Amino acid sequence: NAGVTQTPKFRVLKTGQSMTLLCAQDMNHEYMYWYRQDPGMGLRLIHYSVGEGTTAKGEVPDGYNVSRLKKQNFLLGLESAAPSQTSVYFCASSYSGDGYTFGSGTRLTVV
């Protein structure tokens, strides 16, 4: 049982470049989330999805876009990367009432 798989695990981008982070879950969870984790700031919600074809903004959505075309996948896009987006990104999924299952993270550096 793979759980939540994030790709890539590491990435270095130049300012202005774009990229897509992929999250895939095999637990048939309805809810999926993207967080960023920064030192001293804990976890902050970027975007979330309550089901296939739906997305919504979290606390810090600016500079990011998401899509959930298939129930098992949740994509996070950066259209024009900025140094302030240097962070560790975590995807999570859940079933109603249960705790979250997290991926192992993507460490992104924007130079």
Partner 1 sequence: GNSVTQMEGPVTLSEEAFLTINCTYTATGYPSLFWYVQYPGEGLQLLLKATKADDKGSNKGFEATYRKETTSFHLEKGSVQVSDSAVYFCALHTYSGGYQKVTFGIGTKLQVIP
What DSSP state is assigned to residue 79?
Answer: S
User: Is 40 near partner 1 (CB under 8 A)?
Assistant: yes
Can residue 64 be called a binding residue for partner 1 (CB under 8 A)? no
- Which residues contact residue 4 at a Cβ distance below 8 angstroms, ignoring those fewer than 6 apart? 23, 24, 25, 27, 91, 92, 93, 101, 102, 103
- C-alpha dist (Å) from residue 30 to 34, 61, 66, 80: 14, 20, 16, 29
- Report how many residues bind partner 1 under the rule CB under 8 A: 22
Compute the least distance from the CB of residue 94 to partner 1, in Å.
6
Among 50, 53, 57, 111, binds partner 1 (CB under 8 A): 50
Interaction site with partner 1 (CB under 8 A): 4, 31, 40-43, 45, 48, 50, 56, 90, 92, 94, 96-97, 99-105
